């Protein structure tokens, strides 16, 4: 079980550089065929300074760091399920931007009789100058450790 007192915890801020190659790979992987996501000249012709960041790309950057945070709370990634995500964009990020992520674990709650714990995280994403880019929200479910469940059922049967 994850200690519910983790709710409200501000996780370490981190910076991430938006790289063209990663944007192109991501766009291809999610089926974004529009030239603005692959070709710098097409992006500039459309009014962008460089390749624009597709909407869900920021979650990928955040996920790379959140695994360490979850591990520090005793969560095994094999027990994690992605439940939902949402975002509000304030401005478009582009290749070459250096973004700052400021995640906060806003809630930890039991679900389905404690067989699942739901973790809700909100992350503010800004540029170096503090200009808001996006607010991200995601909910993860952590499945109960089978050893914990077995120990509870064994204790209940004694």
Q: How far apart are CA 64 and CA 60, in angstroms?
A: 7
Beta carbons of 32 and 55 less than 8 angstroms apart: no
pLDDT digits (tens, 9 = 90+) for 23-43: 999 999 999 999 999 999 999
C-alpha to C-alpha distances, 28 to 25, 32, 110, 116, 124, nearest whole angstrom:
5, 6, 37, 34, 26
Write down all domains in the chain, each with its CATH number in brackets: 4-18+53-157 (3.10.129.10)
- pLDDT for the residue numbered 150: 53
> What is the number of other CB atoms lying within 10 angstroms of the CB of residue 157?
6
- pLDDT for the residue numbered 63: 85
pLDDT digits (tens, 9 = 90+) for 40-79: 999 999 999 999 999 899 999 998 888 888 888 888 889 9
Give the pLDDT band of residue 154 (cuts 50, 70, 90).
low
- pLDDT for the residue numbered 19: 97
pLDDT digits (tens, 9 = 90+) for 84-143: 999 999 999 999 999 999 999 999 998 877 789 999 999 999 999 999 999 999 999 999
């Amino acid at each position: 079980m994850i200690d519910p007192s983790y709710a409200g915890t501000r996780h370490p801020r981190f910076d991430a550089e938006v790289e063209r190659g990663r944007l192109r790979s991501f766009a291809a992987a999610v089926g974004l065929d529009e030239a603005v996501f692959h070709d710098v000249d097409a992006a500039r012709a459309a009014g962008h300074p460089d390749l624009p960041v597709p909407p869900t790309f920021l979650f990928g950057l955040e996920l790379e760091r959140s695994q360490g945070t979850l591990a520090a709370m005793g969560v095994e990634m094999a027990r994690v399920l992605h439940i939902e995500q949402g975002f509000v964009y304030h401005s478009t990020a582009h290749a070459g931007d250096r973004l700052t992520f400021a995640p906060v674990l806003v809630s930890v709650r039991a679900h389905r009789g404690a067989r699942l714990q739901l973790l809700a995280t909100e992350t503010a994403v800004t540029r170096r100058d503090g200009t808001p880019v996006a607010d991200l929200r995601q909910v993860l479910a952590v499945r109960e450790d089978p050893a914990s469940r077995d120990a509870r059922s064994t204790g209940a049967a004694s």
